[in-house]
Structure 1
């Protein structure tokens, strides 16, 4: 079993690169990447990296290890004026942006630049002879890619075993009677899948039109909304008194259904919007995600059946470990995706209203279908909290870098939004549990059973009047 978990961790993470000390180091591979990738029309480097650009007067064009040469045939001196479109993406390290180059003696000028945050901008050069008889304009695209650091790699390999352990504990929490009821009378399960793959993509489509998003941003928002439910759904279902068994079942089944539902909804979107359908669905990642959910959950169920006394103590780690992983998730997002602060302002609005629409709409529809509050909470969280990692994977397979990261900014914002709203829900629920739902003579209410306790039976929480 340990070998299976190790294989899952290794397969679900990939070799990434880290920029340390001026060199690009591939942490888990002997391959060596160049610091600056160049061509005749663009320069490609990493966030916050310093690089040089060399201008010389001769008839040859060649690349240097630390920059590139732009050459032109001209006698005498020439004046070169430089301008950058977005200085937050790339800026000059020097104050001067105009240089005089001596062509007769084949002199050159080295201009130092410093990359900023993720983005794409242009370096505009206006080359003019001293008598202004000859003038030439050169435009070079500067492409700043996201830098994956050693911190990212270490965080993934440290947190992955804890996530698997938490899933195993959730498996020990599953109530087999509730599981049997869910699959023999699958109204709640079918409703959850419908809301995930119909209602949420519909909301994303409408909001893309209302907020007049650019086509890449609108498509990214739609792809994120068309993803299956994520692991955060059943974690917060447990924390706010939702039905854990239904949430886990929906998470596993929705990932399986997504193999057909995601391409179908995306095709329908591109057909309506009349845009090219170049989306690539990461089926291998979907299978890995199924394994990441199914193997530890089934292990936990086996532990509960084989050693019930141990399972009763094992499930007690769920709450503290889940809260620890949530805090780590926020910290990881803040460090690795800090470039989202430069994203569109409308993204922060959508980060709130899209998951909020999913939460409220799902609860309303669930209650209209006569589902209990625990079932409605589980469906709401599984619908509103998407597996946005899968959505980001879709975008990364579809677009080159840094276009993929720029398009997925909106998806990351929504991830931060639905996680923050779920955390707020949990805090409000905790306050209510502590101060409002207790025996009070003045109000005449008594709490009989709390669903989110560590009891073996996930019963429905309810209140009775004592008088």
Structure 2
């Protein structure tokens, strides 16, 4: 009797299984002519404030009636079901049209549940990607950002006198510590913050991308404003830009690929990134060529640096905030990550340099070069290398870091000016590149004189008065054959 009951249960269970799997749901994405990016057959692309149609066909090999289809969005802040009801009565072999309304840029799923009464027969998930609406202001902002980036690297090249770099590389402790902090500490720090704050995959990749970037123009500006080692800052930025050709793809491979998940569009486009990094060397070489071949033009470029930088900052902020306003709706975890990465990076850079017994100005410079990564490069790189909406989702972090870094740097600079003016007045003036070059020229002349035993040293004549007599015709000439008099 027990064996008979067991056989009947197995038979009933097999019938239920066959009835359940006899139902098949086929999803057809209604085509949209303006979707050139719809190369992903597994995803449905929707633009903000627009509706796309999802066609669902329920097919059946058995006679099943009283079926209902329930459609739900995993996040209605990203997209919503546009139909009046989310429950649809199913007729076998007839198509059901489900409207998908894009609300905000993001990637979520639509869940389709096929039910009969209280029984769940099938559960199907479809990926929905919501893209931002195209706007002219976004294109203008992108071109302005590109011009800013190119101009910053040309300007850096105009300052890159080889004598300055050579002098810093003779004792490269600061450069080596900075490179260690930029390409070893910062990528690991960004990865740790992404894991600690449990960021979504796109935001985590954006954070790691910024952490893997070299130093940039903004760190040079803050080094100049804070009156630290400006020459070391320039040298570190140049060296880190060259080292980024190898270290940045390596760090992205080690850290960013761990957040790709099931979305293939989040995979790191290593070839595109390498092309962009190599192309950054071209503006630097142009600037160095201008410095050596056309020094007067280089001097004019340096004089125009500050007004041009101010204009570009105003334009970028004026266009960037309305063009990229969506980043202000980011989750609090993204805001915390964007604020903590540069701050902790500066703290670690300063701490490591002080442990290495670097002097104060060099330590502050290394701190700035570590924490103030080239977020502008990350923004441009993400926008070019990744498809939409992934590029917008990844770009949230670099945009916020650029904004918060600028605010933090301005706050520190303002505090420094106030303290120096009212509480501690320093008489040391910052040395610009021209003064450093003049000192380097003098230093080279001294080395040539001291190294040449047959060199004719300059003679200085001094008139001497003895007692009350003034020896007009018999003025004593004293030759001071001491190279030390050549110094200031």
Partner of 2:405: 418
User: In the TM superposition, what is the alpha-carbon distance from 1:44 to its structure 2 partner?
Assistant: 1.4
For residues 115 and 271 of structure 1, what CA distance do their matches in structure 2 show?
A: 28
Counterpart of 1:447 in 2: which secondary structure? coil
Partner of 2:434: 456
| Pick aligned residue for 2:286 from 295, 312, 327 | 295
- Relative distance call for 1:207 and 1:43 in structure 2 (3 A) is closer
Partner of 2:71: 82
Matched-pair contact (CA < 8 Å) for 1:237–1:247: yes
More displaced 10-residue stretch of structure 1: 312-321 or 276-285: 276-285
Partner of 1:251: 237
Matched-pair contact (CA < 8 Å) for 2:210–2:378: yes
Counterpart of 1:449 in 2: which secondary structure? coil
For residues 397 and 172 of structure 1, what CA distance do their matches in structure 2 show?
A: 27
| Pick aligned residue for 1:363 from 345, 350, 353 | 350
For residues 200 and 119 of structure 2, what CA distance do their matches in structure 1 show?
A: 42
| Pick aligned residue for 1:385 from 372, 381, 395 | 372
Partner of 2:276: 285
TM-score (norm 1): 0.68
Counterpart of 2:243 in 1: which secondary structure? helix
Partner of 2:221: 235
For each residue in 1:279-322, what CA deviation from the matched residue of structure 2 results, as whole angstroms up to 9, or x when unmatched?
5532111101121333235424544x3x2xx6555433322322
- Relative distance call for 1:239 and 1:328 in structure 2 (3 A) is farther
- Relative distance call for 1:156 and 1:143 in structure 2 (3 A) is closer
Matched-pair contact (CA < 8 Å) for 2:249–2:274: no
For residues 274 and 77 of structure 2, what CA distance do their matches in structure 1 show?
A: 37
Partner of 1:97: 86
TM-score (norm 2): 0.65
- Relative distance call for 1:272 and 1:409 in structure 2 (3 A) is closer
Q: Counterparts in 2 of 1:389-408, with a 5 A limit? A: 391=378, 402-403=389-390, 405-407=392-394
For each residue in 1:77-128, what CA deviation from the matched residue of structure 2 results, as whole angstroms up to 9, or x when unmatched?
9755432221111124455434557889x7x775544212222222234456
Partner of 2:50: 50
- Relative distance call for 1:331 and 1:373 in structure 2 (3 A) is farther
More helix by share: 2
For residues 78 and 333 of structure 1, what CA distance do their matches in structure 2 show?
A: 50
For residues 166 and 236 of structure 1, what CA distance do their matches in structure 2 show?
A: 14
Please state if 1:156 is matched with 2:142: yes
Larger Rg: 2
Please state if 1:144 is matched with 2:126: no
More strand by share: 1
- Relative distance call for 1:211 and 1:135 in structure 2 (3 A) is closer
User: In the TM superposition, what is the alpha-carbon distance from 1:142 to its structure 2 partner?
Assistant: 1.2
Unpaired segments ≥5 residues, structure 1: 1-21, 25-32, 54-67, 438-442, 460-467
For residues 205 and 151 of structure 2, what CA distance do their matches in structure 1 show?
A: 35
Counterpart of 2:435 in 1: which secondary structure? coil
- Relative distance call for 1:374 and 1:77 in structure 2 (3 A) is same
Counterpart of 2:434 in 1: which secondary structure? coil
For residues 146 and 154 of structure 2, what CA distance do their matches in structure 1 show?
A: 12
Matched-pair contact (CA < 8 Å) for 1:146–1:402: yes
**RMSD of aligned residue pairs (Cα, Å):** 4.4
Partner of 1:13: none
For residues 171 and 329 of structure 2, what CA distance do their matches in structure 1 show?
A: 47
User: In the TM superposition, what is the alpha-carbon distance from 1:163 to its structure 2 partner?
Assistant: 4.9
User: In the TM superposition, what is the alpha-carbon distance from 1:50 to its structure 2 partner?
Assistant: 0.9
Q: Counterparts in 2 of 1:209-220, with a 5 A limit? A: 209-213=195-199, 218=204, 220=206
Counterpart of 1:86 in 2: which secondary structure? coil
User: In the TM superposition, what is the alpha-carbon distance from 1:343 to its structure 2 partner?
Assistant: 3.6
Q: Counterparts in 2 of 1:109-188, with a 5 A limit? A: 111-126=98-113, 137-147=123-133, 149-161=135-147, 163-165=149-151, 167-173=153-159, 178-188=164-174
- Relative distance call for 1:242 and 1:173 in structure 2 (3 A) is farther
User: In the TM superposition, what is the alpha-carbon distance from 1:255 to its structure 2 partner?
Assistant: 1.9
For residues 134 and 358 of structure 1, what CA distance do their matches in structure 2 show?
A: 52
- Relative distance call for 1:240 and 1:23 in structure 2 (3 A) is farther
| Pick aligned residue for 1:317 from 293, 301, 304 | 304
Unpaired segments ≥5 residues, structure 2: 1-31, 438-488
Please state if 1:204 is matched with 2:190: yes
More displaced 10-residue stretch of structure 1: 262-271 or 407-416: 262-271
User: In the TM superposition, what is the alpha-carbon distance from 1:191 to its structure 2 partner?
Assistant: 2.0
